[in-house]
């Protein structure tokens, strides 16, 4: 008497696995919520401390304080507007709305304050001269429109959103001003705007994505039970990805939120392939037997696709931009964990909650019209295989030229839609008052501490400082500049000789010495050892599409020319502009390095899988083509690549391999069963063609919903992934089979051997079994 067959692991451990995952779900929900609530963004945190630009910015902050400030104004906010002083008084009061009073702002300076300071003793500038010095900073070109500059306190730095909210609430306390009329911009508002834009509408967008995915899955599956199994597992994997980041202590920024969305759609993609294998097996197996067969069919392709996608993500870790590096690391971890979850939980769920096979047709072998399509497609591609292959190589060459023309951008205006409030506020302030993006130039001057020292006298320092500031102001693209020289009387030329000149310089030095403490308080002077550090703060417009590299070269050229006679003076360049330029440069380098690394690693996997150097190498053509087409088009059209687009290159390469691996797997099975290359191609279409279309539609349209996000990197990521996935589908349906037909070899027949091609109702796998 034969012993009964061994029980499947899904039968023995199915309920335990389901219970375990249900028990973990509350923990993951807690971690995911904690991650969403902790999202914070600062451009200064994007680059590593090892970069010279980052080190200089940190040094600058230590010497002169951070750039945490707000510029606040409204239409009609002029020098003689009484609401200006009323609003300033409200802003400097502690916020008593909480448990304890909190002062969100330190110093608050208005245009009226600066004008009074410049025209009062000891400077006693004329009214027109004072306005001219303030123009572009606190006074507009009409010499009437003004603003307030509010320095954010330590408490405000810790809770920028609360500080900005208080600035809006103060407007309600001033008669004739409302929060809707307020114009607020500045570095402090940038991070808050990014936080709000990336989180606003997130629940609605997620709900929309869920609806789209469920709808497309149901239309493909015709089974709500199978749809909900895959959907709930994908939600579990999404929560898992956020929890991994939260419990590992990773600071979450808006770029990292995309990891969860990517993990979600990839889990659905693998789940759709698994369910389609399950449905295919139901034709001639019981529901419980079909679970094991589907798992065996999906195991290798799913693990390989997860592995290649994770490799694509890990390639992003070569980036020097922290959000990109973190994205690659956590996306790889989440995708790997998601694949394990799917391959454990989906079979257990399908085994314990089997789908009724009645009325559930086999998509690969059911509809006659679909079989006719696959048959004609395999014949047509076989006939045109070399033309398709050579044509794809020509397209690659054209796209590579476009890629060489790519430009990158890390500017504020590329993070939001044009109609976003922060963009409108920036544009209004830059139009009415002056530019807002800072370039900081610090002149390190050796001070003359005594008569025997070789340092510069104070009046000499100021004379050079004034010349350097004017040289910077003359640079094309610089809209305004300010330094301690702005708040000093007219400078006597230190080169002039005679009793009168010496007397004027002595008087000038006394005035400067009496104001040194004020310059320190105003953050225009600092000391380091025996050196004086004089700050020149210039501004460029955020709305101008300036090439920051060229701009910095022009600034350095003018400053160096001014300091040519003073080799002892060292200029130090800092601020947002050098940092943004470094970020833009690194983004382009990262795009090339990460994509190249991902290509090499994934190509090696494909060569090993296909056991053929040429076939494995050329099978990468349909996988790299989507990325090259997308980025080549951006290069030809002059569309700048920002961080959201950057993430898609390696991500799309890894994802595109998913469908390729399933197709190649069935193609190899066909050849192994004795089928010809054309027959193996048709069989691959029949087994995974429909699933490839379903997964591409689900992933692409599920991500496309996020194109409605007001945060441009998320929106651009969604558009790019949508385009890339649909192009990848076309490449996998047309170009991949052509390459396999070109470079694969038929299995040699023994003399007199007859090759039996499996019928439409059978598969190579079933024939072997």
> What is the Cα–Cα distance from 634 to 632, expressed in whole angstroms?
5
453-469: pLDDT as tens digits? 677 888 788 889 999 99
**What is the average pLDDT across 735-750?**
79
Q: What's the pLDDT band for 506 if we cut at 50, 70, 90? A: confident
Work out the burial of residue 738: count CB atoms within 10 Å of its CB; fewer than 13 is exposed, 13-18 middle, 19 or more buried.
buried
Asked whether residue 765 carries a pLDDT value surpassing 60, the answer given is no
Q: What is the percent of the chain with per-residue pLDDT over 90, rounded to a whole number? A: 28
Q: What's the pLDDT band for 451 if we cut at 50, 70, 90? A: low
Q: What's the pLDDT band for 753 if we cut at 50, 70, 90? A: very low
182-195: pLDDT as tens digits? 999 988 888 788 77
- For the entire predicted model, the pTM comes to 0.78
> What is the Cα–Cα distance from 663 to 626, expressed in whole angstroms?
17
Q: Judge whether 71 and 186 are in contact, CB under 8 Å.
A: yes
Q: Judge whether 65 and 188 are in contact, CB under 8 Å.
A: no
Residue whose C-alpha is closest to residue 528's, from 572, 564, 488 = 572
- The CB density around residue 134, as the number of other CB atoms within 10 Å, is 24
**What is the average pLDDT across 220-229?**
88
**pLDDT value for 750:** 47
**What is the average pLDDT across 242-269?**
86
**pLDDT value for 768:** 35
Mean pLDDT, rounded, of the chain: 84
Work out the burial of residue 295: count CB atoms within 10 Å of its CB; fewer than 13 is exposed, 13-18 middle, 19 or more buried.
buried
263-307: pLDDT as tens digits? 888 888 889 889 888 888 887 788 888 898 889 888 888 888 888
Most confident residue range from 274-278, 323-327, 393-397, 688-692: 393-397
94-132: pLDDT as tens digits? 998 888 899 999 888 898 888 888 888 777 888 899 898
3-45: pLDDT as tens digits? 555 677 888 888 999 999 999 999 999 999 898 888 776 656 6
Q: What's the pLDDT band for 360 if we cut at 50, 70, 90? A: low
CATH of range 9-38+222-413+582-768; options 3.40.50.720, 1.10.10.410, 3.30.110.30, 1.20.1640.10: 1.20.1640.10
**pLDDT value for 436:** 85
Asked whether residue 583 carries a pLDDT value surpassing 70, the answer given is yes
First to last CA, the chain: 23
Q: In what order do the strands lie in the sheet with 183-185?
A: 105-110, 148-152, 69-73, 183-185
The full set of domain ranges for the chain reads 9-38+222-413+582-768, 68-195, 426-581
**pLDDT value for 196:** 79
Q: What's the pLDDT band for 767 if we cut at 50, 70, 90? A: very low
Residue 574 tokens, joined: 């800092």
């Amino acid at each position: 008497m034969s012993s009964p067959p061994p029980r499947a692991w899904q039968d023995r451990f199915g309920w335990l696995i389901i219970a375990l995952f249900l028990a973990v779900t509350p923990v993951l929900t807690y971690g995911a919520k904690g991650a969403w609530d902790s999202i914070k963004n600062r451009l200064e945190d994007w680059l590593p401390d090892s970069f010279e630009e980052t080190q200089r910015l940190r040094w600058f902050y230590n010497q002169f304080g951070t750039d945490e400030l707000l510029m606040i104004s409204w239409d009609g906010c002029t020098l003689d507007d009484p609401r200006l002083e009323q609003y300033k008084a409200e802003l400097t009061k502690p916020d008593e709305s909480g448990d304890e009073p909190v002062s969100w702002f330190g110093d608050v300076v208005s245009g009226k304050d600066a004008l009074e300071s410049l025209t009062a003793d000891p400077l006693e500038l004329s009214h027109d001269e004072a306005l001219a010095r303030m123009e572009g900073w606190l006074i507009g070109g009409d010499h009437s429109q003004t603003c307030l500059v509010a320095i954010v306190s330590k408490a405000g730095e810790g809770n920028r959103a609360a500080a900005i909210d208080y600035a809006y609430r103060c407007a309600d306390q001033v008669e004739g001003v409302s929060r809707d009329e307020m114009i607020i911009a500045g570095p402090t508002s940038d991070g808050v705007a990014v936080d709000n834009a990336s989180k606003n509408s997130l629940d609605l967008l997620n709900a929309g994505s869920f609806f789209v995915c469920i709808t497309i899955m149901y239309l493909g599956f015709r089974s709500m039970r199978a749809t909900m199994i895959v959907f709930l597992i994908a939600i579990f994997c999404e929560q898992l990805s956020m929890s991994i980041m939260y419990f590992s202590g990773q600071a979450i920024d808006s770029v990292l939120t995309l990891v969860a969305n990517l993990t979600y759609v990839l889990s659905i993609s693998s789940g759709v392939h698994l369910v389609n294998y399950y449905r295919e097996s139901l034709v001639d197996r019981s529901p419980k037997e079909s679970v094991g067969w589907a798992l065996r069919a999906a195991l290798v392709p799913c693990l390989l696709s997860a592995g290649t996608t994770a490799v694509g993500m890990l390639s992003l870790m070569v980036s020097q931009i922290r959000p990109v590096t973190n994205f690659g690391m956590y996306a790889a971890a989440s995708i790997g964990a998601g694949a394990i979850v799917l391959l454990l939980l989906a079979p257990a769920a399908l085994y314990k909650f089997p789908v009724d096979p009645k009325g559930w047709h086999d998509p690969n072998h059911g509809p006659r019209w679909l079989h006719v399509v696959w048959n004609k497609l395999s014949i047509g591609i076989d006939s045109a295989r070399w033309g398709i292959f050579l044509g794809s190589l020509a397209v690659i060459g054209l796209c590579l030229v476009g890629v060489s023309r790519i430009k990158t951008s890390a500017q504020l205006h590329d993070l939001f839609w044009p109609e976003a409030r922060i963009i409108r506020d920036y544009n209004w302030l830059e139009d009415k008052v002056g530019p807002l993006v800072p370039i900081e130039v610090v002149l390190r001057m050796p001070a003359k501490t005594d008569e025997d020292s070789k340092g510069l006298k104070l009046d000499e320092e100021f004379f050079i400082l004034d010349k350097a500031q004017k040289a910077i102001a003359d640079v094309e693209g610089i809209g305004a500049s300010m330094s301690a020289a702005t708040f000093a009387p007219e400078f006597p030329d230190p080169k002039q000789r005679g009793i009168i000149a010496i007397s004027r310089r002595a008087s000038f030095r006394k005035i400067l010495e009496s104001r040194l403490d004020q310059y320190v308080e105003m953050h225009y002077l600092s000391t380091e050892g025996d050196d004086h550090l004089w700050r020149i703060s210039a501004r460029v417009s955020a709305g101008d599409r300036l090439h920051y590299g060229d701009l910095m070269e022009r600034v350095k050229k003018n400053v160096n020319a001014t300091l040519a006679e003073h080799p002892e003076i060292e200029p130090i360049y800092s601020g947002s502009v050098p940092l943004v330029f470094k970020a833009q440069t690194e983004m382009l380098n990262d795009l090339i390095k990460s994509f190249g690394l991902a290509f090499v690693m994934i190509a090696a996997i494909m060569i090993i899988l296909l056991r053929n150097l040429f076939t494995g190498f050329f099978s990468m053509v349909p996988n790299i083509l989507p990325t090259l087409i997308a980025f080549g088009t951006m290069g030809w059209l002059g569309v700048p690549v920002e961080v959201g687009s950057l993430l898609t290159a390696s991500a799309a390469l890894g994802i595109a391999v998913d469908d390729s691996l399933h197709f190649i797997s069935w193609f190899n099975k066909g050849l192994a069963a004795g089928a010809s290359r054309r027959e193996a191609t048709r069989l691959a279409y029949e087994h995974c063609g429909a699933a490839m279309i379903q997964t591409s539609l689900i992933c692409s349209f599920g991500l496309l919903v996020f194109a409605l996000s007001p945060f441009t990197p998320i929106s651009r990521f969604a558009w790019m992934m949508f385009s890339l996935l649909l192009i990848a589908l076309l490449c996998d349906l047309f170009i991949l089979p052509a390459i396999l037909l070109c470079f694969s070899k038929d299995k040699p027949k023994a003399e007199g051997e007859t090759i039996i091609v499996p019928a439409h109702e059978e598969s190579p796998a079933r024939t072997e079994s």
